[in-house]
Amino acid sequence: MIKVLKAGFYSTIQDLGRFGQRNFGVPVSGAMDSYSSAFANALLGNDKQDAVIEMTMTGAELQFTNPTTIAITGANMHPELNGKSVEMFKFIKIEPNDILTFGRLLEGFRTYIAVKGGFLTETLLGSRSMMKGVTKAIKIEKGDVIAIADYVHLENPKNAKLNFKPKILSNTVLEVMIGPEFYKLSKAQKEALFKQEFHVSKYNNRMAYQLLPLVQNNLESILTVPVLPGTVQLTPSGQIIVLMRDGQTTGGYPRILQLTEKSINILSQKIRGNCLKMRISDL
């Protein structure tokens, strides 16, 4: 078991997401940075669907009652075990009563903790991912007790020598594919999308990221149509909205672009003020 001594700003349980429910209006959810989440699980030889803890901006404080092995990936929040710094992107042995803490955010925005065997919270609609309207809790709270399996330490966990690709944190280029309504844009609008440097606004969360500055827009709204994580919408005011993992399943704004999976991961690690450029994907 794990006792939550401090929850951090916004910490949740996430796995790969909740699929096959979009026709009922249920978002996919899942880890915002699927690469970092999958890397943490791979280090431990976990199943790729095993649940992890996703921490946003500030870290949690966790006390382990079971011996186990963990891995920490994603944003660098200066992790410490019993007051001593521990390496990220490596497997870490845990003894009963060990306390894991985090300090100042050094790079990125979201950190992932994987535990051997995954976090054993309730599965709903095929996923453990926390989501408003689906799970009882939408985030981890102080005082929570989270179930984990009891594991004897592994001397050399599967894939323990994998190398993390740090560009997921530092990359400032979002690769995109053409969206269904892209061809309705004028030549000037299209050029602005790929020449302009954008920055992350204060409005960013698991549902969507808004980018600035505004883009001149004279397109009419469209009938409600399907949208996906990574769909780039253009509002009548010229606001660019990028839907993220908890984003709605339908929308009425023109879908001008679609982020690649890699670019969704990159954007999820950006904070207010970070600058970005978009380019057409080579895929």
| 282: confidence class by pLDDT, cuts 50, 70, 90 | confident
User: Residues 106-139: pLDDT tens digits?
Assistant: 999 999 999 999 999 999 998 999 999 898 999 9
CATH homologous superfamily, domain 171-280: Cyclophilin-like (2.40.100.10)
Q: Among 214, 183, 222, 218, which residue's Cα sits nearest to residue 196?
A: 214
Which residues face 62 on adjacent strands?
A: 4, 100
Mean pLDDT, range 24-49, rounded to an integer: 92
Which residues face 25 on adjacent strands?
A: none
Q: Which range in 18-22, 32-36, 188-192 is most confidently predicted, on average pLDDT?
A: 32-36
CA distances from 173 to 195, 213, 274 (A): 12, 16, 11
CB 8 within 8 A of CB 55: yes
Q: H-helix or E-strand containing 164?
A: none
Q: What are phi and psi of 190, to 5 degrees?
A: -60, -45
CB 78 within 8 A of CB 46: no
Q: What is the pLDDT of residue 150?
A: 78
Q: H-helix or E-strand containing 231?
A: strand 231-234
Which is more confidently placed, 167 or 271?
A: 271
pLDDT of 142 higher than 80: yes
Give the strand pairing for 198-204 and 275-280: antiparallel
User: Residues 166-219: pLDDT tens digits?
Assistant: 778 889 999 999 999 999 999 989 998 999 999 999 999 999 999 999 998 888
Q: What is the pLDDT of residue 281?
A: 84
Q: What is the pLDDT of residue 154?
A: 62
Structure tokens of 29?
A: 């959810």
User: For 46, which DSSP code?
Assistant: -
Q: Among 204, 180, 191, which residue's Cα sits nearest to residue 257?
A: 180
Mean predicted lDDT score pLDDT of the chain: 92
Question: What interhelical angle do 261-268 and 34-44 show, nearest 10?
Answer: 90
Dihedral of alpha carbons 66, 30, 238, 192, sign: positive
Helix (H, G, I), strand (E, B) or coil at 40: helix
Mean pLDDT, range 25-37, rounded to an integer: 93
Q: What is the pLDDT of residue 179?
A: 95
Q: What is the pLDDT of residue 244?
A: 97
Q: What is the pLDDT of residue 2?
A: 96
User: Residues 49-96: pLDDT tens digits?
Assistant: 999 999 999 999 999 998 999 999 999 999 999 999 999 999 899 999
Mean pLDDT, range 248-256, rounded to an integer: 92
CA-CA distance, 116 to 149, in Å (whole number)?
7
| 155: confidence class by pLDDT, cuts 50, 70, 90 | low
Which residues face 199 on adjacent strands?
A: 212, 275
CA-CA distance, 45 to 146, in Å (whole number)?
21
Chain-centre distance for alpha carbon 47: 18
> Range(s) for CATH 2.40.100.10 in the chain?
171-280
